[in-house]
Amino acid sequence: MEDTKTAPPIDPGVRIGHVHLKVADLSRALDFYCGVLGFELTQRYGAEAAFVSAGGYHHHIGLNTWESRGGNPPGPRTTGLYHVAILYPTRQALADALRRLLANGITLEGASDHGVSEALYLRDPDGNGIELYSDRPETLWPRTPDGKLAMTTVALDIDALLAE
C-alpha cells in the first residue's frame, strides 16, 4: 500500500465511538437493533431518534429519522456508508449473534474468514450494511515471512461457528 501523506500516526488509543444511521422507520430499526441483535435502548426522542448500546455505554449506535422518515436506501453506484462493523468480544458471542439472526429469519449476504477475524455480513431493514465480527488473538493473525499482515478472505465455516 502506498502512503499518501507523511503526517505522524494518530494516537493508538483512538477508537470509533459510535455511528449514527439515518433510518426510514424508527420502530422498525429498534426492532432490528434491539429485538434481533440485542442492543439495549439507552435513550429515545419520540419517533425521531434513539440511541442503543451494549454494556451500558451511552450509545454505540444512533438511529434517526430527521432527514429520512419514510425514505429509501441509496441506490447502487452511490457514495456513502459501505457497512458498520460491530466487534464481538469472543467467537462464542459471534455464534450467539448468528443464532439470533437465524432465529429471526435474517438473511446473510456473506460470511468470511479473514485470518484476523471471522465475519458475518447482512443488511439492516433500511439497507445499511452490517458486519458482525470477532477478532482472533493477534498472535494468531496471518503474517508474511517479513512480518507484515496477510489478511485473507475465504468462506467462513458456519457450522463450526454454530458449534461454539
Q: Is 51 exposed, middle or buried (0-12, 13-18, 19+ CB in 10 A)?
A: buried
How many other C-beta atoms are found inside a 10 Å radius of the C-beta of residue 125? 16
pLDDT per position as a tens digit, 99-147: 999 999 999 999 999 999 999 999 999 999 999 999 999 999 999 999 9
Residue ranges of domains in the chain, CATH in brackets = 17-69 (3.10.180.10), 82-164 (3.10.180.10)
- Residue position matching grid coordinates 443488511: 123
Q: What pTM does this model have?
A: 0.91
Name the phi and psi angles at 95, rounded to 5: -60, -40
